Structure 1
Amino acid sequence: MRIHAKYRQLTFISTMSIVLTFIMSGIMTYVLEGGFIAHFMSAWMRDWGIAFVIAFGLNFFLPVRVRRFANQFKKAQLIVYAFTISLIMTCILSFVLTAVAMHGFTSEFASHWLGAWRIAFIIVFVLNFFLPQWVGRIVGKLIANPTKSSAGTAA
């Protein structure tokens, strides 16, 4: 079963958000919970659900604005784009996931959040260089090719 071409962007955003938040939330859960604890999987799935909802919204609205900003830097456009989008997304995601892991804002919140943000930023910055191309290839295979489907129905 193929996905209609008009859903290409939505499919890309969904897939990108799923993969990115799966990796990031797993590593952040490990860091924030202090390793592989007894309830690691349930904490990771909770964090992944929260991160996915936030990342989906950010991936829907943020890239156009960040790309517009990055276009001002002709030679370093890709690096500026990856750096900026990673910085914004990880700031928001790490803030929320740290608050969830710590059950609110405690006196140690800022140090935990900045530590989690640093790790999340490195992960997402690296992922932003190769993940979009990989997800784009997967989505390309899922999208129905209108010329093939119309040629197949005409015969």
Structure 2
Amino acid sequence: MRIHAKYRQLLFISSMSITLTFIMSGIMTYVLEGGLIPHFMSAWMKDWGIAFVIAFGLNFFLPVRIRRFANRFKKGQLVVYVLTISFIMTFILSFVLTAVAMRGFIPGFAGYWMGAWRVAFSIVFVLNFFLPQWVGRIVGTLIMKPANTSVIT
């Protein structure tokens, strides 16, 4: 099954959000819940669903703005871009997932959140260097090639 080329960006954003949040939410659930608890899978899937919705929205609107910011730096544009998008996404996602795992704002919430953010940032920062190329290649194989419009005489 091939997908029309006009949906390439939407497919890329969806694939990135699914993959990134699957990995990040699994690790964050493990960290925040204190290991492989009896209801780990259900907690992970709940966290993944929440993280996906947030990440999809962020991946839809943030990259263009962050790319404009990163383009100001002649050297290291990629590093600035990855650092900035990882920082913003993990800041928001770790806050929400910590609040969900702790069932609200408990005493010591900030400490749990900062610990979760540190873990999330480490994961996402590394993933943001490699995952876009991998997802881009997969998306490229799913896109329909335009019909050849040249005329043979």
Q: What TM-score comes out, normalization by structure 2 length?
A: 0.96
- In structure 1, the partner of 2:32 is 32
- In structure 1, the partner of 2:111 is 111
Where structure 1 has 5 or more consecutive residues not aligned to the other structure, the ranges are: none
Mean Cα displacement is larger for which, 142-151 or 126-135? 142-151
In structure 1, C-alpha distance between the alignment counterparts of 2:104 and 2:122, rounded to whole Å? 25
Which amino acid counterpart does residue 18 of structure 2 have in structure 1? I
Counterparts of residues 1-155 of structure 1 (less than 5 Å) = 1-147=1-147
In structure 2, C-alpha distance between the alignment counterparts of 1:95 and 1:52, rounded to whole Å? 14
In structure 1, C-alpha distance between the alignment counterparts of 2:128 and 2:102, rounded to whole Å? 28
Q: What TM-score comes out, normalization by structure 1 length?
A: 0.95
SS in 2 for 1:123: helix
- 1:150 offset after TM fit, Å? 9.8
SS in 2 for 1:36: coil
Where structure 2 has 5 or more consecutive residues not aligned to the other structure, the ranges are: none
Change (3 A) 1:4 1:114: same
- 1:136 offset after TM fit, Å? 0.2
State the identity %.
80
- What do the CA deviations read for 1:8-27 (whole angstroms, capped 9, x no partner)? 00000000000000000000
Which amino acid counterpart does residue 49 of structure 1 have in structure 2? G
SS in 2 for 1:146: coil
Which amino acid counterpart does residue 55 of structure 1 have in structure 2? A
Residues matched between the structures, number: 151
- What do the CA deviations read for 1:33-69 (whole angstroms, capped 9, x no partner)? 0000000000000000000000000000000000000
Instruction: Please report the RMSD computed on the Cα atoms of aligned residues, expressed in angstroms.
Output: 1.5
Change (3 A) 1:36 1:17: same
Change (3 A) 1:38 1:5: same
